[in-house]
A and B are shown apart, each in its own frame.
Chain A
Amino acid sequence: MSAAHSQNLNVLLQEIEGIHLTHHNPRRLRADIAAEALPALLALLRGRASYVHLSAISCVDWIEENQFELVYHLWSYETSVLISAHIRIPREPGIYLSVFDIYTPAAFFERDIHEMFGVYFEGSPDMSKFILTEWNGPPPMRKDFNSEKWVMETFSWQEYHPDWLKDLEEQGGGIVSTPESIRMDNK
């Protein structure tokens, strides 16, 4: 059943222009497509195939190529196949379309990505703060956000060097790399 089904799916997917399919294994399919074609692909997979479950949207920051990669993970309960649809959008201005109309749970993932990466999703029902309600800085998961530097500027540090550790160090043991030695200011 599975082989026949995947053949049908391949025929179906050829309707999308410029799609590039990679079969990692029979239950894993990677589809690289242009950003404009993604809503059509998702509508097709949900409407005409059995991919009713959008299990996650993940985001990758390719800072050297100045792009964000968005990965839509779609699951079919009938064939147990996971399709991941990969698109690339320019890092600036970092705006993309919401797929909330096709998959309702997308609102949750899009809000999360907006908070962590600063990608704005047009048409998403709620783009307000989600988990980082106390956060006013730049989106923290972007590669150009220097977490260690921010920590250095915001928090003070407390040494922890207990007596039992000193005893161990006298015998030649102890911690190989302390946080102090890896911290930014000692680099």
Chain B
Amino acid sequence: MSNTDLSNIEVNQKPVAKRSNPFANVFNELVSFCRSRSMFMLHYCTGCGAIELPPAMTSRFDMERLGIQPMVTPRQADILLITGYVSIKTLKRVILTYEQMGAPKYVIGICSCTVNGGMYWQSYATAKKLDEYIPVDLYIAGCMPRPEAVIEGLQQLMAKIKTDEANSWKKYYEHYDYYLGNQQHLFGNNWQTPTDIIGEAKTYQLEGPNTLGEHTKILESVQRPLEPLEMKL
């Protein structure tokens, strides 16, 4: 496993021109504001934390007053909410789900288990640090966090989006080699996903010096082109 610690790496931000005109960045600010006020949330309920989401969504705590709604498919969602322990088998599905989401996308890890395994810290089947495999914007620790904490966390995420700080999805493209290396460490060198992350990074012009590396070379050597699924009745 590579030892690079990504927690302190800042994503390259485009320098914002400082102007005296207060309306200079008004369009960008409007976009960020709108983005933070209309979020669709895909909750990947891996563990027990999911039980705190219905009260957070429904009338008592009412997530929708913040503009957050549950969404049914990853392709239409903005937030990926991972609620609880992530077993190695689930982690594969989490990564597939994450890669299908359209950018900008945000990941929230709920419960202690996504931080460091929580009460499953000695389990052979549970991945310990979620942010080694996909970038995480925000952790809400607790076992399990109450709906108040979930709402508080979502409000923090909204504040981060408003000020353009929630850039972890760019980190995935810029440091793809690191994430892919950790994924290969668990799933073996034959691991590949249907999404072409390197191609997307090039398209979005988010390719950094760490996008390609030794692990992506392994991926290139084993990658097979996608085949259509066999249709059966």
Q: Which residues of A contact B (CB under 8 A)?
A: 131-137, 140, 145, 147-148, 150-151, 154-160, 162, 179
A156 touching B129, Cβ below 8 Å: yes
Q: Enumerate chain A residues within 8 angstroms of B79, measured Cβ to Cβ.
A: none
**Cβ of B31 under 8 Å from chain A:** no
Closest to B187 in A: A134
In angstroms, Cα B186 to Cα A148, docked, is: 16
B92 touching A148, Cβ below 8 Å: no
Take A147-B124, A154-B186, A160-B141 as given contacts and tell me if A134 and B92 are in contact as well, using a CB distance cutoff of 8 Å. yes
Q: How far is the CB of B91 from chain A (nearest CB, A)?
A: 8
B115 touching A155, Cβ below 8 Å: no
Q: How far is the CB of B69 from chain A (nearest CB, A)?
A: 30
Q: Enumerate chain A residues within 8 angstroms of B116, measured Cβ to Cβ.
A: 157-160, 179
Take A134-B88, A134-B92, A151-B123 as given contacts and tell me if A160 and B128 are in contact as well, using a CB distance cutoff of 8 Å. no
Take A134-B92, A156-B132 as given contacts and tell me if A147 and B186 are in contact as well, using a CB distance cutoff of 8 Å. no
| B173-211 CB contacts (< 8 Å) to partner A | 185-188
Contact of A160 among B89, B115, B124, B188 (CB under 8 A): B115
Take A133-B89, A134-B187 as given contacts and tell me if A157 and B128 are in contact as well, using a CB distance cutoff of 8 Å. yes
B117 touching A155, Cβ below 8 Å: yes
Contact of B89 among A134, A148, A155, A158 (CB under 8 A): A134
A151 touching B124, Cβ below 8 Å: yes
**Cβ of B222 under 8 Å from chain A:** no
Residue of A137, A145, A151, A159 with highest tally of chain B CB at under 10 A = A151
B89 touching A150, Cβ below 8 Å: no
- Give the interface size bracket for B toward A: 20 to 34
**Cβ of B122 under 8 Å from chain A:** yes
Q: Enumerate chain B residues within 8 angstroms of A155, measured Cβ to Cβ.
A: 117, 127-129
Q: Enumerate chain A residues within 8 angstroms of B92, measured Cβ to Cβ.
A: 134
Mostly, the A contact residues are loop
Q: How far is the CB of B185 from chain A (nearest CB, A)?
A: 8
In angstroms, Cα B188 to Cα A140, docked, is: 18
Q: Enumerate chain B residues within 8 angstroms of A137, measured Cβ to Cβ.
A: 124
A136 touching B188, Cβ below 8 Å: yes
In angstroms, Cα B121 to Cα A160, docked, is: 12
Closest to A162 in B: B141
In angstroms, Cα B185 to Cα A134, docked, is: 12
Closest to A141 in B: B124
Could you jot down 21 A-B contacts, CB within 8 Å?
A133-B89, A134-B88, A134-B89, A134-B187, A137-B124, A140-B124, A140-B125, A145-B124, A147-B123, A147-B124, A151-B117, A151-B123, A151-B128, A154-B1, A155-B129, A157-B116, A157-B128, A158-B128, A160-B115, A162-B141, A179-B116
Q: Enumerate chain A residues within 8 angstroms of B187, measured Cβ to Cβ.
A: 134
Take A134-B186, A134-B187, A136-B188 as given contacts and tell me if A156 and B128 are in contact as well, using a CB distance cutoff of 8 Å. yes
Q: How far is the CB of B72 from chain A (nearest CB, A)?
A: 26
Per-residue contact bits, chain B 104-138, to A (CB 8 Å; 1 contact, 0 not): 00000000100111000111110111001000000
Q: How far is the CB of B3 from chain A (nearest CB, A)?
A: 8
Closest to B130 in A: A158
Q: How far is the CB of A146 from chain B (nearest CB, A)?
A: 9
Q: How far is the CB of B197 from chain A (nearest CB, A)?
A: 20
In angstroms, Cα B92 to Cα A132, docked, is: 13
Q: Enumerate chain A residues within 8 angstroms of B124, measured Cβ to Cβ.
A: 137, 140, 145, 147, 150-151, 154
